Amino acid sequence: MEYTHLGETGLEVSRLCLGCMNFGSDEPWMINDREQSRAVIQRALDLGITFFDTANVYSQGESEEILGEALADADRDRAELTVATKVYGPMHDGPNGQGLSRKHVFEQADASLERLGLDYVDLYQIHRWDDETPIEETLSALDALVEEGTVRYVGASTMPAWKFAKALYEADLNNRERFVSMQCEYNLVDRHEEANVLPLCADQRVGVLPWSPLAGGFLTGKYERDADPDEGRAASDEFMEKRFTEENWAVLEVVRDLAEEKDTTPAQLSLAWLLHKDLVDAPIVGPRTIDHLEENVGALEVDLTDEEIERLEAPKTPVWNAEIGDV
């Protein structure tokens, strides 16, 4: 395993982050088996992964519980681990059930810590932007969590660059804790962030944690152009189906050809492309099996030349998609 610093902080994280959205029972494509989930987490630790990302809304807290139980059983040095979770999504019906108000942020931070079985989280992230709450209120709440010691760093996820710039400006202006990282959708077929938030992250030295680095499995090569998917996320996820465009199939064709030439897999090649981006700290991988996890880690050994990177990027022109960015 390789390690790096998150953004411009002194926090050391593994170059791959284990995403824990698959650990739960909300969707048919999730693992839905706690022992299997814990086995994947244990193998990740054995492979040197020390960075874990979850969210309160993943299976309504079940993912956090599974991660917390697995880390407790593993009996690893807490100081070596980086545990990240998120807040924003709906956790109950009625008033104050979601969002980034001071009330909801405080309550959900406490609830996440209880489910994780931890005294603090290393990275607490706003899952989305909340148009109903002033950003200063949210920043004040996050700042207080850092001051009391239950949060070490704060991060953000998935928003237009102008909103993220506003949050960074407000933090600087009012001497609040600054977002040190940005989670954004970024992979070889979803490159819209190159025309949105990534230039801002580079300018402000904010760490980048790409989610869906394999485009929901599309870049593994398991789907075929002329076949209707009957399993996996594409069988039940309309957003996944939107990736089946001619431009994206052209990208996958290059991925498959180059992977064969380099005696690697499409998944490893696609992850290697991200790992070669100076701005990227740690792609968030979401394997459902130990075999997939081990394949993902193998991406660290794949070298790409500048010419190979250009070849992979040639079929796609990054264009900012406001509909995706505002989700």
As annotated, the active-site residues are 58
CA distances, 27 to each of 17, 39, 231 (Å): 22, 20, 12
Residue 188 CA neighbour count, 13 Å, CB half: 35
The two beta strands, 3-5 and 82-87, are unpaired
Cα(first)–Cα(last) distance of the chain, in Å? 33
58 three-class SS: helix
Q: How far apart are CA 259 and CA 144, in angstroms?
A: 48
Angle CA(304)–CA(203)–CA(142) in degrees, nearest 5?
110
| b/e 114-140 (16+ beta carbons within 10 angstroms → b) | ebbebebbbbbbbbbbbeebebeebbb
Which of 209, 188, 185 minimizes the C-alpha distance to 196?
185
Which of 78, 75, 79, 86 minimizes the C-alpha distance to 20?
86
63 three-class SS: helix
